Amino acid sequence: MEKLLPVLKFDLILSDDKDGAKFNIFCRRAIMNKLDGLLEFATVVDSGGFTAAAEVLGVSASYVSRRVSALEERLGVRLLHRTTRKVNLTDIGAIYHERALAILAEIDDLEDDIADQQRLAVGSIRISAGGVFAERFLARALAAFAAQHPRIRIRLDIDDRKVDLVAEGYDLAIRHGTPGDPDLIARRLTMRSMRVCGSPAYFARMGRPETPHDLRNFDCLTHHQLPWRFQAKGGEPFEVDVESRWSSNSGTALIEAALAGLGLTRLANIYVDELLGRDELEAVLVDYELEPSVTHIVYPSRQRLPYRMRLLIDFLVDWFDHDRAEQSL
């Protein structure tokens, strides 16, 4: 970065005369040439390969490869060890990558400053969220936001995995329950509660559980990672070990099994409310359910958020406040 500073100083000194203006153009081109391939190189490293980098950047893998190769040729060093399966940084590549990230962050901050000063809704926002909440409710809200702000690019990655926002380059994520990370800012988005439910045909055949402990005598359809926890009024939360006849990591798949009369499932209300309203499923043990939990929008702690981020966060909070008032989501 230090090598660029003299060029920038010339830009300031010579900008008032004709010859200086020509020199400015030369200097700016020199700066841009030094940045050629920088973004592609950093993206290859951060995403783990040329194909993944191409997907992130919206270009072809061959284009990314050419840009990185040209960068290496211009520098006269090899930045990456390439194999058929993965790429690894060379020692000099690791140093260059660290400096490249700092330069790209400075450019992003500069663009954010300009956009903020002019209150421009421009740039990209990368979001991580999981499950049917992301597929149905969040996607709908983001589509409405994008229609209002056509110069903001939205990337929604739907994955139940709890991503590392900073390390993986996400701007924000949706988290259910207590965020638990002190380095993240959390704002309340909506509430969700759990429901144990089954089909009318299953209840007609097997009867209904009166208490959570009765579930041991019923066929249960379970999520791989979600325990069945309950709480009697005024009591402490407790967990029930249920016999899993059918399991999946997909709430939608569990719904299909419940509708087919295979047993009882326990899912968030966003999966089942419409089906309960149409009497396709029926809820039991409602008095034993835990208090509703909060769904948060979380983002890395910063002294100043880009204007586009503030716009989106405020939009989502208002959207789900309105949605909750109308639908009790």
The full DSSP string for 291-311 is: PPEEEEEEEE--SS--HHHHH
CB of 136 closer than 8 Å to CB of 319: no
Phi, psi of 197 (to 5 degrees): -150, 160
Q: How many CB atoms lie within 10 A of CB 40?
A: 23
SS3 156: strand
> Is pLDDT above 60 for 14?
no
Q: Which residues contact 205 (CB under 8 A, 6 or more apart)?
A: 261
Domain extents in the chain = 36-117, 121-187+295-327, 194-288
Rounded CA-CA distance 59/57 in Å is: 6
Q: Which CATH superfamily includes the segment(s) 121-187+295-327?
A: Periplasmic binding protein-like II (3.40.190.10)
DSSP 161: S
- Which pLDDT belongs to residue 297? 93
Fold matches, 121-187+295-327 and 194-288: yes
- Which pLDDT belongs to residue 279? 94
More confident residue, 258 or 159: 258
> Is pLDDT above 50 for 325?
no
Taking CA atoms, 254 is separated from 46, 207, 208, 270, in Å, by: 35, 20, 19, 13
> Is pLDDT above 50 for 5?
no
SS3 237: coil
SS3 27: helix
Residue 79 has which token pair? Answer: 């930045």
For residue 152, list its beta bridge partners: 123
Domain spanning 36-117: which CATH class is it, in words?
Answer: mainly alpha
> Is pLDDT above 70 for 19?
no
Tell me the CB-side half-sphere exposure of residue 302, using CA atoms within 13 A: 14
Q: Give the residue from 110, 113, 92 showing the smallest Cα distance to 102.
A: 110
pLDDT in tens, 103-123: 887 777 777 666 666 567 888
DSSP 106: H
Q: What is the DSSP string of 224-281?
A: TT--EEE--TTS--EEE---EEEEES-HHHHHHHHHTTS-EEEEEHHHHHHHHHTTSS
Q: How many CB atoms lie within 10 A of CB 275?
A: 18
> Is pLDDT above 90 for 182?
no
Residue type, 128: S
- Which pLDDT belongs to residue 33? 60
Rounded CA-CA distance 134/173 in Å is: 10
> Is pLDDT above 80 for 243?
yes
Band (pLDDT 50/70/90 cuts) for residue 155 is very high
For residue 248, list its beta bridge partners: 223
Architecture of the 194-288 domain: 3-Layer(aba) Sandwich (3.40)
Tell me which of 158-162, 308-312, 313-317 is least confident.
158-162
> Is pLDDT above 70 for 35?
yes
pLDDT in tens, 70-85: 888 888 888 898 876 7
Across 20-33, average pLDDT:
47
CB of 154 closer than 8 Å to CB of 142: yes
